[in-house]
Structure 1
Amino acid sequence: MTQERLVHIVDEIPELEGATDLTMVLVLDGFLDAGNAAAHAARHLADLDSGRGSSGPVVATFDVDSFHDYRARRPAMSFVRDHYEAYDAPRLVVRLLHDSGGTPYLLLHGPEPDNRWEAFARAVREVLDRLGVTRVVAMGSVPMAVPHTRPLAITPHANRPELLLGTSPWRGELRIPSSAQSMLEVRLGEWGHDMLGFVAHIPHYLAQLDYPQAAAVLLEQVELAGRLTIDLTELHELAREREGEIDRYLEANAEVGEVVAALEQQYDAFERAEESGVNLLAPDEPLPTGEEIGRQFEQFLAGLDDGSSDPSDSGREA
């Protein structure tokens, strides 16, 4: 009986020969990615490598047919007049990239496996062992009841306390839905492989919007954890543009600005309570729900996503 091959790894990679400190960045699409922060960060890494004249060669390919539920997440394709073409086949791969100083590192990206998570974890372990990966650094983001006008918070996590670069804002135990990415961290820890990661807290009223500020903050953490140097100039510029769009919309829509102001008060009250150690709960003040803010921002998001209008136009048309 032949052993099932779930990942195919390039046998010889000259650039990795003799490497003693190799980071693999991990981003799986489909979960924990409010504001498309992690996906945007992964695209930025790949684009940077392409901009330096390299295509980011694939050094490992996972058998996506073994992990993907095509009926749950149907890949897009094109129908051109009288025939089908341009099928966007899902790919789960590891690419060899280089940071700004020429240091090699790996990027594992693609759709989160829909099934066979344990088999996927074993396949990732094979990649780490074969390529000599020192550490895995993951990225993610979740919607939170926080205003975009305050510093973007990060939840660090790791399978060894010594790997943590910051203090978690959470106390006690949280029961949350699992993911292939989080389960992988547990399994790699059991197998003696270091894995850490960072989850950005995205304002829930912007969770459906591409939010480059969060991508930049995540990559700043990846730089520290992975001992890499990453050019974030383009992301910072995109973040400034997006902040400007949001600010213009708020100026033209006073009712939405009031909702954000309420979040700011809630956030500041929580911060004061944290500093004093008296009470972690904010004063008895109603917190706008995600649905309330979502309704206020529905026209705003639609205008930005299709690029058909200036966000401030909605206020003039009302």
Structure 2
Amino acid sequence: MSWNPPLSAPAADAPAVPAGLPLVVLLTGFTDAGSAVAQSIGYLRDESDPITLRRFENDVLLDYRARRPQISFDTDHLTDYRPARLELSLAHDALGQPFLLLAGYEPDFAWDAFIAEVLAAAEAAAVATVTWVHAIGMPVPHTRPFGATVSGTRPALTEAHSVWKPHTTVPATVGHLLEYRLAETGRAVAGFVLLVPHYLADTEYPASAIAALDSITAATGLVFEVDELREQNEDYLTKVREQIAGSDDLTAMLQNLEERYDAYMAGATNASPLIHEGDLPSADEIAAELERFLAAGPHEDDPRSPGFG
């Protein structure tokens, strides 16, 4: 007898969904520099009052041994089992505007079947747009505005927000595949790749979450209150500034990155700070030097935490 379980199931008492809403997709997986996506998921689950419409089945989509769930041990017994979560929800922004949110882990298995379900859900809801965000580490300075590469079928967004337009081949994520399939059907879709300073990529960098939410705003018109994230970012940057000021190597590295970034943005033909690191210290070397200042427990929804979902 073959085992052929469904990929997802509707939530009990799921509300009716208005037609024509934007769909926001946030999936952790192959890369999440600065924990941009993980932090954004945590923010939206806390602040947008999401109502679950459909839950995707971990037993079908998740490799438990690669991303183990968390369970608590209390003296002599186990408590609080926290499985990963991948859900489609109806959420609302700070102004009460509704939107659809697909958030959680990137599926390990059954990508084509998963994409087919998402496309069917988008068709049924007659979604107006689809926006997804992920983040990669790049040799760019934290002292300059966040950059992004924007892809999809919305050229106005690409023209306005894409600072780097490479010709390259990259390992695909399920977000890439979703965008590719949506583009084939002619739907309005935009993918934002945030360019996070490579020396901060392995930390929980609040500015990356702010940039992710700002990208969603640019694509959808949704509004998010990020004052708390801004305060967290100020505290974070204070630690970074202290550490850089105390190191000649880090100061030189930052000046080098700033010069290359400024030349690139000014349109210098021989400037390409986004792809040639040259004599820059490696991300591991810089991260090791920053570690004692930036060390903090993992975010509750950080994919590096075993129970992230």
Given the two structures, how large is their TM-score scaled by the length of structure 1?
0.83
In the alignment, structure 1 residue 224 sits paired with structure 2 residue 218:
yes
SS of the residue corresponding to residue 166 of structure 1 reads helix
In the TM superposition, residue 105 of structure 1 has moved relative to its aligned partner by 0.7
Give the direction of change, closer, same or farther, for the CA distance of 1:171–1:164 in structure 2 (3 Å limit): closer
Residue ranges of structure 1 left out of the alignment (5+ in a row) = 307-318
Q: Which residue of 1 aligns with 2:31?
A: 32
Query: In the alignment, which of 72, 76, 79 is matched to residue 70 of structure 2?
Result: 76
Q: Identity percentage over the alignment?
A: 34
Equivalent position of 1:264 in the other structure: 258
Whether 1:279 and 2:273 are equivalent positions in the alignment is: no
Distance 1:162 1:262 in 2: 32
Q: CA 1:125–1:208 in 2, change beyond 3 Å: closer, same or farther?
A: same
SS in 2 for 1:228: coil
Is 1:173 aligned with 2:172?
A: no
Cross-structure match for 1:315: none
AA aligned to 2:202 is Q
How many aligned residue pairs are there?
Answer: 295
Cα contact 1:159–1:186 (8 A) shared by 2: no
Q: Which residue of 2 aligns with 1:43?
A: 42
The answer to whether the Cα contact below 8 Å between 1:117 and 1:180 also exists between their aligned partners in 2 is: yes
Normalization by structure 2: what TM-score? 0.85
Q: Which amino acid aligns with 1:288?
A: P
2:293 alignment partner, one of 286, 291, 300: 300
How far has the Cα of 1:227 moved from its partner?
2.1
How far apart are the structure 2 equivalents of 1:168 and 1:279? Answer: 19
2:301 match: none
Query: Is contact 1:209–1:305 with CA below 8 Å preserved after alignment?
Result: no
Q: Deviations over 1:260-295 (max 9, x none)?
A: 2222233233334x2x4x324469962333233233
What do the CA deviations read for 1:2-58 (whole angstroms, capped 9, x no partner)? Answer: 985322235976563xx3430111111122310001221222222223xxxx4x210
Question: 1:86 offset after TM fit, Å?
Answer: 1.7
Alpha-carbon separation, structure 2, partners of 1:10 and 1:279: 55
The one-letter code matched in structure 2 to 1:214 is S
Match among 284, 291, 298 for residue 291 of structure 1:
284
SS at match of 1:59: strand
Hey, what does 2:143 align to over in structure 1? 149
Q: How is 1:47-58 mapped onto 2 (pairs within 5 angstroms)?
A: 47-49=46-48, 54=49, 56-58=50-52
Between Structure 1 and Structure 2, the one with more helix by share is 1
Tell me if structure 1 keeps the 8 A contact 2:91–2:98: yes
Partner of 1:210: 204
Contact in 1 for aligned 2:148/2:161 (Cα 8 Å): no
Greater C-alpha Rg: 1
RMSD between aligned residues: 2.7
- Distance (Å, rounded) in 1 between the aligned partners of 2:293 and 2:190: 35
Read off the aligned partner of 1:279 and give its amino acid letter: N
- Report which structure shows greater RCO (CA 8 Å, sep ≥6): 2
